[in-house]
């Protein structure tokens, strides 16, 4: 079946502009996660959704970052007034939610470059 998809695959933006990154999780997966990976670094957790609510936003680096999820499916990560340090690959993952142990399935990522 279809995996996690993300769009755009690449985004180049000027410093100070706003950007929106989209994630389409696997159908039926109620949990959705956003991570980012700077060049040569490990993954950094940003935010987690269970359904449309976000019980864990602890990884968002500043108030310029926000995310929403609608209909328990698609999620959008918005970065306002982008800075050069925001340049990274933004990865989305989804998993079956509720209780139990489920692996996370990752999308291919969006490579964001802030010039």
Nearer residue to other proteins within complex by CB, 12 or 17? 12
3-state percent helix, strand, coil for the chain, nearest multiple of 5: 5, 50, 50
Q: List, in sequence order, every beta strand (DSSP E) within the chain.
A: 5-7, 10-13, 19-24, 31-37, 43-50, 53-56, 65-69, 75-79, 88-95, 105-106, 110-114
Nearer residue to other proteins within complex by CB, 47 or 79? 47
Task: Select the residue interacting with other proteins from 13, 43, 60, 72 (CB under 8 A).
Answer: 43
User: Shortest distance, CB of residue 3 to other proteins, whole angstroms?
Assistant: 9
Contact stretch for other proteins (CB under 8 A) within 14-22, 52-60, 66-74, 77-85? 52-60
Nearer residue to other proteins within complex by CB, 60 or 74? 60
């Amino acid at each position: 079946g279809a995996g996690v998809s993300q769009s755009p695959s690449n985004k180049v933006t000027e410093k100070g502009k706003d950007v929106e990154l989209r994630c389409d999780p696997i159908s039926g997966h109620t949990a959705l996660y956003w991570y980012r990976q700077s060049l040569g670094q490990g993954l950094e957790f940003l935010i987690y959704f269970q359904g449309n609510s976000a019980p864990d936003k602890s990884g968002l680096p500043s108030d310029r970052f926000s995310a929403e999820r609608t209909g328990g499916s698609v999620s959008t990560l918005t970065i306002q007034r982008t800075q050069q340090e925001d340049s990274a690959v933004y990865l989305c993952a989804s998993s079956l939610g509720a209780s139990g142990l489920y692996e996370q399935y990752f999308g291919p990522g969006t490579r964001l470059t802030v010039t």
